[in-house]
Amino acid sequence: MTDDAIRYLDLPSPCGVLRLSADAQGLRGIRFEGRRGHGPAPAGWVHDPAALAGAHDALEAYFAGARTAFALPLHPLGTPFQLAVWRELARIPYGETISYGELARRVGDPGAARAVGAANGANPLPIVVPCHRVIGADGRLTGFAGGLPAKRWLLGLEARVARGDLFA
């Protein structure tokens, strides 16, 4: 991509239709159908599956249990604090979960669990930047942009793949 246009495609997935969007620098967004930020494509966006083929293929491989990490060019837009939180999210190992408090400690601000939660909720690249791997301190599943059923499904997929039982 060489111009400033946002390219997009809608990808059917086990978690519903995902709208992927990118600019010339990388993947900018993944939105769940029926959720905040997913509606008709904004004016000026260009439907361009070829521009998002790498992200499309990587996500399909992830959903099939054949990919446990992503190596895509990313271009999330956020505050310096949000970007720091998202960098830490990307470091959570596949198949593992941590609490918001642990994420705050990893960001270097142990008292900022609520702020970390807000940044986690603003993550524009769910799945690829695995905000679904953050759970409540008591082990309960908490909010997720795709809804709790999608979060449960993603964590279940990762648990099955991690223990070598994809078809369970």
Q: Which residues are catalytic?
A: 131
Q: 164 CB contacts (<8 Å, ≥6 apart)?
A: none
Closest CA to 45 of 6, 81, 84: 6
Say how many residues make up the chain.
168
Measure the CA–CA gap between 109 and 119, rounded to whole angstroms.
13
CA atoms within 13 A on the CB side of 111: 0
